[in-house]
Amino acid sequence: MKNGPNIASLASLLGDPARANILAALLGGKALTAGECAAEAGISAPAASGHLAKLLNAGLLVVLVQGRHRYYNLAGPDVAAALETLMGLAVRVGLRRTRPGPREAAMRKARFCYDHLAGEVATQVFAQLVTNGHLVASPQGYRLSPLGRARFHAEKIDIEALESKSRTLCRACLDWSERQPHLAGSLGAAIAQVAIERGWCRREAGSRAVHFSGGGERALLAMAGPEPVGAPETGGAASNSSTHDPRRA
């Protein structure tokens, strides 16, 4: 390209399998040491150091130094979103790994994409938020409607605090496995945090895959519903107070 951003240089960085594996591992949102990055990429520690230096110089990674240890992470949610979009494009054009890992089914079901949830369940949550009028499409993307604001206040999510941050509140992130959007941005991260804290799901050790508790998936989907769980029913008998609330599962 004669003018504009040098995407060819960026593409060459991402085109190396070892660097691509390192970046994919960091999509989980957890900072890794150089040794852990080497293990994820299947390369030696010296080789990993060279790749990490290139990714740092390109601004794709940041490093946090704590004592004698150096921890690497993605430079921000924009890098994570770009990687997730590239993964979706690779799937669409048929560029898949020839030997899928054993976690592929679990990853498709639910996983972390940086600091928010992705996969089948996450795209269902996004679709319900739109269907129920909590998210509204706009020329700039998606915004939280007054109905959605009230909905998340009922879930004890402080929308005003999220809006005070420099990060975008709501952003549609194309899901590489479902080819549909899931919710990113500070609200997407807050929903993921709530799901973990309330015990609806847990992260698989050493993986981005997420596993739901008995009623966890239903509870997460209910968060995107039209009314908070436990809201008074209309046009029928009063609800039984002893009914099991899946959101406490």
Please answer whether residues 91 and 176 qualify as being in contact, where contact means their C-beta atoms are separated by less than 8 angstroms: yes
What is the rounded average pLDDT of the residues 144-158? Answer: 94
CA-to-CA distance for 242 and 70, rounded, in angstroms?
51
Q: Taking the CB of residue 19, how many other CB atoms lie within 10 A of it?
A: 24
Largest CA distance in the chain: 70
Length of the chain: 249
* Least-confidence region, from 93-107, 130-144, 226-240: 226-240
Helix axes 17-26, 77-92, angle to 10 degrees: 120
Residue 109: the pLDDT is 92
Q: Which helix (H) or strand (E) holds 63?
A: strand 61-66
Where are the chain's structural domains? 7-75, 81-223
The per-residue pLDDT for 3 is: 67
Q: In the 3-class helix/strand/coil scheme, how is 165-231 assigned residue by residue?
A: CCCCCCEEEECCCCCCEEEEHHHHHHHHHHHHHCCCEEECCCCCEEEECCCHHHHHHHHCCCCCCCC
Q: Which residues contact 30 (CB under 8 A, 6 or more apart)?
A: 73
Asked if residue 98 has pLDDT above 70, the reply is: no
Instruction: Give the pLDDT confidence score for residue 106 in this predicted structure.
Output: 86
**pLDDT tens sequence across 68-91:** 889 999 998 888 888 888 887 887
CATH topology of domain 7-75: Arc Repressor Mutant, subunit A (1.10.10)
As a whole number of Å, the end-to-end CA separation of the chain is: 54
Per-residue tokens: 169:
């509140």
SS3 annotation, 83-136: HHHHHHHHHHCCCCCCCCCCCHHHHHHCEEECCEEECHHHHHHHHHHHHCCCEE
CB-side exposure of 101: number of CA atoms within 13 Å? Answer: 10
- CA–CA distance, 247 with 4 (Å, rounded to integer): 49
Q: With a cut of 70, say whether residue 31 has pLDDT above it.
A: yes
Cα 24 to chain centroid distance, Å, stands at 12
pTM of the model: 0.65
Expressed in percent and rounded to 5, the helix, strand and coil fractions of the chain are 45, 15, 40
d(CA 203, CA 209): 6
Residue bearing tokens 């970046």: 23
**Bigger pLDDT: 165 or 120?**
120
